[in-house]
Amino acid sequence: MSWAIALVLGLFISLISISTAQLQVGFYQNSCPNAESIVTSVVRQATLSDPTIPAALLRLHFHDCIVQGCEGSILIRSPATGNLEKDSPNHAGLRGLEVIDSAKAQLESQCPGTVSCADIVALAARDSITMTQGPQYDVPTGRRDGRVSNIADANNMPQVREPINVLRSKFAAKGLSEKDLVLLSAAHTIGTTACFFVENRLYSFSTNSQSDPSINPGFLPELQAQCPQNGNVNVRIPLDRGSGNTFDINILRNIRSGFAVIESDAALYQDDSTRAVVDSYFGLFDDLFGSSFEEDFAASMVKMGSIGVRTGSDGEIRRARFLKKLVKMGFGLD
């Protein structure tokens, strides 16, 4: 981590700690000194086996935080109720839970009942960014796990086809700014999406246009070749054209140039306010006097990671193995 990133995040985290009280960098330093290194090791091994895991873990953190807050409710499982948060169509395709399980099992072995699942998710997302050449940053920890999981809680999640004003409103409801909306959307610098989420832009965008006019004309046939009309909607394509496995600013460059893959990313450049945020990282003097994309992204991740956290006596430290045993016995969870 550069001294600049460390300084900016140090100041930012100090402000966050005022509002979240017991979240702090190094929370497990005494109670479980190897907690963060264990999570890092598990994420590294998972990434070596499956290079798509970092994007999955980053998405998992967002989906956990943006619903009821960063309290691990997305992980709660019970025997086929169909009514848990994880069962929502808005969470379709979430992966990486086995990585969280693996880290939790190792942590329970070393430090029983100490490290929350919510913290593991936040740390795994940070490590996923680092392992795809993104910025290193400190994650304040000390989250407790929530006890409630309800499918209805995920009904109001941001959607890829929603207008920018709706996305802005949903982010604001979680205490996130327009700048956070742009930066957290830039997490699409790694990962893929299914043709299902793209076909509307390509073939039936509006009554007056068969394709989204914001798509660069040179990019349209490329997308249509990857996602042919009436083709397999489950085919996966990179979200960041030309740089889908590396965390970098190329995603914002693509958005500026009409190479955004999904509608919500493209919308960032159709609105004056969010366009200004995107453009702010490409000015002539921004490299010298402006803020760094990497610094700002890390700050937005820390900010998102503080949404609705439970600390102290609020919530619990979930014991993964004990919960799995209950599942096998046929009992519900939480």
Domains annotated for the chain, with CATH where assigned, are 3-158+305-329 (1.10.520.10), 164-300 (1.10.420.10)
Confidence grade of residue 9 (pLDDT, cut at 50, 70, 90): low
Q: Is 189 annotated as a binding residue?
A: yes
pTM higher than 0.75, yes or no? Answer: yes
Sign of the dihedral through C-alpha 309, 312, 144, 32? positive
The answer on whether 242 is annotated among ligand-binding residues is no
Selected residue with higher pLDDT from 322 and 119: 119
Residue-level pLDDT at 281: 94
* Choice among 25-29, 105-109, 284-288, 317-321 with the minimum mean pLDDT: 284-288
Query: Which residues are the active-site residues?
Result: 63
Select, from the ranges 15-24, 69-78, 217-226, the one with the highest average predicted confidence (pLDDT): 217-226
pLDDT, residue 8, reads 47
Cα–Cα dist 61/189, whole Å: 16
Q: Could you tell me the pLDDT band of residue 320, with boundaries at 50, 70 and 90?
A: low
Q: Residue 305 has what pLDDT? A: 97
pLDDT at 22 over 70: yes
Is 85 annotated among the ligand-binding residues? yes
Would you state the structure tokens that stand for residue 101, as one six-digit string?
């399980």
% of the chain with per-residue pLDDT over 70: 86
Annotated binding-site residue? 91: no
Q: Is the pLDDT at 278 greater than 60, yes or no?
A: yes
Q: What pLDDT is attached to residue 154? A: 86
Would you say residue 332 has pLDDT above 80?
no
Confidence of residue 14 (pLDDT cuts 50, 70, 90): very low
Examine the pLDDT at 202 and tell me if it is beyond 90: yes
Query: 333 or 38: which carries more pLDDT confidence?
Result: 38
Phi, psi (degrees; rounded to nearest 5) at 18: -65, -40
